[in-house]
Structure 1
Amino acid sequence: MKFYTTQHPYYCGIDLHARSLYVCILDANGDTILHREIKALPQPLLDLLAPYIGNIVVGVECMHCWYWVSDFCAEHGIDFILGHALYMKAIHGGKAKNDRIDSYKIAHLIRGGNFPLAYVYPSEMRSARDLLRRRTRIVRHGADLKAHVKNTTSQYNLPPNDLNLRYPNAREAMRDRFDDQFVQRNIDLDLDIIAFYNHELSSIECFIEKHAKHHNGSDYHILTSFPGIGRILALTILYEVGDIARFNTVQDFASYCRLIKCKAESAGKSYGTQGNKIGNAHLKWAFGEIAVLYLRGNDKAKAHLLKLQKRMSKAKALSALAHKVGRCVYYMLKNQKVFDEKRFLAG
């Protein structure tokens, strides 16, 4: 957990909502200068902050509509910090809660050096990352639709099929599968949505890849040098990581990717682990996928996994391999070096 400790003459805490803002401004002594609710629009916010520009820092909690406040502050030369939502909840949780109290507590956290920082993702790559995340959700929904088709076949005791519904011929083969017209219409609905998803997702993937080469083509090509990292996994790592320089150590990177577990200890006693869900779920998924794909058709990698399995279960060995992959990717991006399998397996 990192805290914001820079001192300013004034501190502004904003309780952010989609349609309104509750703004609290404190001076260096902790006295309340301003405490007011305004509409979530740039001009009212500028009117409040204008007298303090150059001497104030603005902090908001990380929630879905922080983008415009960050861009607003960047445009007007105002220092902006983003608070980690989970850590902030743990720090300033109290008996009473409302927008006025929340904005006051945010301002006090900033002033006291207890404001837990989240990463302010660069605006030029932010929308591409959101589109890629949206693509992932659509892919998973498509998988649910395919599972529904398969489960319906079993439900009506029809012979199982191994058709890959990604392909048009396979989808057409399912058009007359059921005698009941309502069941068939249900399946046709799934097939039509799957067909639409396949067309749109292919277009979106090409679109994102084209812009990824513009945003950070060097890192993209370095990532694809790793066996098992294809287009989607490379794009996921590229856009979820952003700037690799924001991680001071490989341990910070592994923690952010949920590749390690943190011990919970008190008075010399261990209480297991905690915080396993803190970090980036997309990177956790990506490195798990890479570990499995790296093993495919790779005898040296399989031998390395068997070596790990002598000390732990297969599941833990795969997790250890995913951690190793994550560390490798960190150094590849940090040092701008392509994958070296000899060093990877020897390490």
Structure 2
Amino acid sequence: MRHYRFDKYKSKKEDRSSTIELITPHATAAIDHYNSDLKYLAEGVHMARDFATEPGKSLYPQAFVEVIKQKFNGIDNVKIRVLDVAAIQKLNMGALTGVSKGSINDLRLIVVEYSGGNRTDAPIALAGKGITVDTGAISLKNNNGMWAMKSNLSGALKILKSASELVFSYAERCSNHHKREAVMSLYCGIDLHSNNHVVVVIDEEDNKVVDKRIDNNLNATLALLAPYKEQIKAVAIESTFNWYWLVDGLIEQGYQVKLVNTAAVKQYEGLKYSGDHQDAFHLGHLMRLGILPTGHIYPPEYRQVRDLLRRRRQLVKHASSHVISIQNQIWRSLGYRVSCVDIRKKDFKLPFEIGSFLYHSAHSNLMILKTLDKQIAIIEQQTLEAVELKDEFKLLTSVTGIGPILGLTIMLETGDIKRFEAAGNYASYCRCVNSVRESNGKKKGTGNRKAGNKYLSWAFSEAAHYLVRFDAKAKRFYERKKQKLNGIVAIRAVAHKIARAVFHMLKNKQVFDIERAFS
């Protein structure tokens, strides 16, 4: 116990290893006692100390839930239930919800049940409250006492320590199925850049096993990790612009890969030094704790088609800019406006004298526009031929305003709808919800508005414009919103309605119902 140190943020860690010599005529019994009881007691105390010392920014309620899930992962007869805010409010637990109102992170209630004991034994119930950082009455506290405000987490940590000690020690005595692996697990974090990446492998005690910067070469990475492949639990890789080659290559070689949501990773602000090696270490450390924020690894067989559709959108934007340029030049020079439909006609002729500077200027835009339109048509044909049009596509095109291209975009960008827990989560991913931070009923600003999928945001906005044009019920909803607020907010409200409807359509395999969507 006395060798405990919280030094994971230190670049140089003190070597505290030592040998304990036991003088006893009952050596075998002493070793068995340690392996079945004392070992888990020591590990539980060290774990509780680690989390009590961890900055509150890194250990918030949902992160604490993930730690508990990882702690009991794979243990028979253990059932974990997690209650979110809605479930807690339904049970009228006003004291809990009241305490958490001042936090940007929602509270959680965790129930860990172990049913591996004797049926005749009386049940044991332990309860503890944990506040990761207690900022209550912060204006009344002086600087000397603020450091202790994390001690309110200790109640929950005591319960976690006691539960893990009881479960693991009981399982050790009763069954060989629950014994932990003799080989220490390793965790790999990779800080990826455009031309190189830093690989850090740590063990279960945050000791660095590998710490090296290498060029972006898959064979070099595989060779570096090969000696530790059997021990590496998973590899955490930053979701940078160039992650495809590394993630796909490691998965093909049998590694479990976690794609890190870099926007959600928070470093400890008290660090005086931060760099690539520290970043890679931090990814491995968060993964070891079970609180690493991860993103979705899109299946490579559909990723190329999805990216081709994204390129189509880029070409459409370029084509639109050339149409606007031609329109503005005619309007500015001749005083009248030509519609984009007329400009895109095959027999369209520029209303300028051939050979004049105005003609050459507009003609260059027109030639590029025709080339772009041709490439856009080719991409549309290729994507429709490349992808098997599933039932999801047929459901999506049942929505007024969603045609083949928008339907294909939504289908490919969404992927498996089961990865979204609820309609609100999906709408948030589509950027169809507001980003608002509130405390005590007051608005405290906005942030993270760009979190999510910008392509789905565009697709649902396009669908909203078409739906408002061709459906009377959606039009009335739009007009009411527009009168209260403005046109931009109103069209986004329609997009939000469509996004939620699409979630239920894909999840329940139902066609679009305008009455339910705008009831």
Q: Is residue 186 of structure 2 the alignment partner of residue 21 of structure 1?
A: no
Alpha-carbon distance in 2 for matches of 1:270, 1:198 = 46
Task: Name the amino acid aligned to 2:403.
Answer: G
Which piece of structure 1 moves more, 183-192 or 2-11? Answer: 2-11
Q: Does 1:134 align with 2:311?
A: yes
Ranked by relative contact order (alpha carbons within 8 Å, sequence separation 6 or more), the top structure is 1
Shift of 1:309: 5.4
SS in 1 for 2:306: helix
Amino acid at match of 1:29: E
Deviation at 1:307, TM superposition (A): 5.0
Percent sequence identity is 32
Cα separation, 2, equivalents of 1:312 and 1:141: 31
Distance 1:159 1:266 in 2: 53
- Quick one: which amino acid aligns to residue 102 of structure 1? D
Structure 1: stretches of 5+ with no match in the other structure: none
Q: Deviations over 1:156-176 (max 9, x none)?
A: 345433362222212xx11x6
Q: How many residues align?
A: 340
2:433 to 244, 260, 279: 260
In structure 2, which of residues 320, 333, 353 is the aligned counterpart of residue 143 of structure 1?
320
Match for residue 219 of structure 2?
Answer: 43
Aligned to 2:352: 177
The structure with more strand, counted as a fraction of residues? 1
Secondary structure of residue in 1 paired with 2:489:
helix
SS at match of 1:232: helix
Where does 1:1-347 land on structure 2 (aligned, <5 Å)?
Answer: 6=70, 9-56=185-232, 57-88=234-265, 90-91=266-267, 96-162=273-339, 164-170=342-348, 173-174=349-350, 177-178=352-353, 181-212=356-387, 214=388, 216-266=389-439, 269-308=442-481, 313-346=486-519
**1:111 partner letter:** R
Deviation at 1:96, TM superposition (A): 4.0
* Deviation of 1:235 (Å): 1.4
TM-score by length of 1: 0.89
- What's the offset of the Cα at 1:95? 5.4
User: Structure 1 pair 148/112, CA: closer, same or farther in 2 (3 Å)?
Assistant: same
Consecutive unaligned residues in structure 2, runs of 5 or more: 1-59, 72-183
**More helix as a share of residues:** 1
| Distance (whole Å) between structure 2 residues aligned to residue 269 and residue 340 of structure 1 | 36
Aligned-pair CA distance for 1:139: 0.5
Q: Distance in 2 between matches of 1:281 and 1:115?
A: 23
> Cα deviations across residues 286-330 of structure 1 (Å, max 9, x unaligned)?
112212211223223323434555765554333222211111000
Question: Normalised by the size of structure 2, how large is the TM-score?
Answer: 0.61
Distance change in 2, residues 1:322/1:162 (3 Å): closer
Post-superposition CA distance 1:9-29 (Å, at most 9, x none): 111111112322211100011
Cα deviations across residues 217-237 of structure 1 (Å, max 9, x unaligned)? 211111001111011211110
Q: Is the alpha carbon distance of 1:196 and 1:314 closer, same or farther for their aligned partners in structure 2, counting shifts above 3 Å?
A: closer
Alpha-carbon distance change, 146 to 305 in structure 1, aligned in 2, over 3 angstroms? closer
2-side partners of 1:49 and 1:274: how far apart? Answer: 38
Task: Indicate conservation of the 8 Å contact 1:261/1:274, yes or no.
Answer: no
Q: C-alpha offsets along residues 125-166 of structure 1, whole Å, 9 cap, x if unaligned? A: 111111111110110011111111112223334543336222
Quote how far apart the aligned CAs of 1:117 are: 1.0
Greater Rg by CA: 2
Separation in structure 1 between the aligned mates of residue 515 and residue 432 of structure 2, nearest angstrom: 22
Counterparts of 2:194 and 2:478, CA distance in 1: 49
